[in-house]
Amino acid sequence: MSVSLSRYLLPVVWQLFFCLCVATADERLQQVLTQHESGMGQIQVFHVILHARSPRPPTPDNFEKWMKGEGREPVLFFECAWISDGIRERIQMFPHEQVEDENGRPINIDDYLRDGDKEYWLANWDWDSPQEITPTMQGSVMAEIRPQTAAFRTRDPAWWLLRLPRFETPEPRLTLREYVARFEQVSCVEGESPLDPVQLRLHGDTLGLVADTAAVEIYLEPKAGYHISRMVRENSDETAERMEYQVEEFMQTPSGAYFPRKVVYRVSDKEIPDGMTMGEYEVVTSSFDEPLDPSLFTFRFPENAQVVDTTDQRDPRKWLLWGKENQAKADLQNPMDLLDYDPVARSKMPGRSHSIPRLVMLNLIFLGAVLAVAFLIKRRRSKT
């Protein structure tokens, strides 16, 4: 009888033991995530300037040497200002050396304001050295007002400094807790001592942005307020691709919180098995928990900029012409409306009537097509 009873009880005992272990592991995971959130929450107000370094891309003349490691030393590419008051966030990105398009107009300049509701974006405009724009000729300027979401399709200091975990631009901006919730399989692995980093192992991305053959590891540093100190994504397929972000140095704020001072980003694959440094992100100036100048959150569009506004659900894509006093001066309906606000362009064309010559009409149609294509390119624009 006892043997028969044990045969039935043993699976039940094992099941209870397994459930207890799972509950304990999940409880520890929740504790770690809460400790991480507590550490992150200590820093809400800050103004930091950081430098982003990256190797120069290879040229046909030096490709073989570059692949062997020559000429891959990181050089300063971008300077970034990152400002937050706990609700609003300002990100300004400037190339260290001026970059121009084929027409000599500045590119790779970004200015963002996220106020918790809307996101304002102005690209390729330098207030210290503004390019000339008119209502009909926008140069390289792009401008938009859109709802603030987790999507952030450009270079991101929160990503570079491991404040928000991401590996690639298409991934949304998520807190660590939200990021972990993306994955079907999650385990929390303790170090040998309480001061060793805690490892989170993740697999099975429900958003489909991480391949099924890839696994993610995130390390939290107990000695730095459980801030992320290392992130690794590694593919087990034939590419052997590996991406790794590592905090090389933390700084301590006056209140005792921790913030990364320098992060290094390395990649490797079957072509570069030893890996190479693709990015170095270093804070060069910082202030924490100090009053911020309100002007830091004053966002402006230049006069005559065409601004796309997608924040109105009733009219999901407004097309605005910006005026003085940082306000829209016209709600545009079609490209021909631009002529009403561009005296120079209008003076070169006959009066607007149904008898407009065929050549002029073709020019207007061409202008509309150019604007439409520019808008589509802007909407699909993706940066790394």
- Output the pLDDT for position 190: 92
- Output the pLDDT for position 355: 42
Q: Rounded to an integer, what distance in angstroms lies between the CA atom of residue 72 and that of residue 268?
A: 14
Q: Is 384 exposed, middle or buried (0-12, 13-18, 19+ CB in 10 A)?
A: exposed
Q: How confident is the model at residue 271 (pLDDT cuts 50, 70, 90)?
A: confident
What residues form DSSP beta bridges with 231? 218, 245
- Output the pLDDT for position 346: 80
Cβ neighbours, 10 Å, residue 225: 21
Q: Rounded to an integer, what distance in angstroms lies between the CA atom of residue 167 and that of residue 24?
A: 30
- Output the pLDDT for position 365: 57
Q: How confident is the model at residue 283 (pLDDT cuts 50, 70, 90)?
A: very high
Say if CB 126 and CB 150 are below 8 A apart: no
Q: How confident is the model at residue 98 (pLDDT cuts 50, 70, 90)?
A: confident
- Output the pLDDT for position 317: 78
Q: Rounded to an integer, what distance in angstroms lies between the CA atom of residue 268 and that of residue 232?
A: 11
Question: Which residues, including other chains, have CB under 8 Å from residue 40's CB and lie 6 or more apart?
Answer: 163, 175, 225, 227
Q: How confident is the model at residue 382 (pLDDT cuts 50, 70, 90)?
A: very low
Q: Rounded to an integer, what distance in angstroms lies between the CA atom of residue 363 and that of residue 361?
A: 5
- Output the pLDDT for position 377: 52
Q: How confident is the model at residue 6 (pLDDT cuts 50, 70, 90)?
A: low
Q: Rounded to an integer, what distance in angstroms lies between the CA atom of residue 142 and that of residue 99?
A: 16
Spatial CA neighbour of 215 closest among 198, 229, 201: 201
Q: Rounded to an integer, what distance in angstroms lies between the CA atom of residue 129 and that of residue 17?
A: 68
- Residue 11: pLDDT over 80: no
Q: What is the mean pLDDT of residues 224-237?
A: 95
Q: For residue 289, is it left (φ>0), alpha (ψ between -120 and 50) or beta?
A: left
Cα-atom radius of gyration of the chain, to the nearest Å? 26
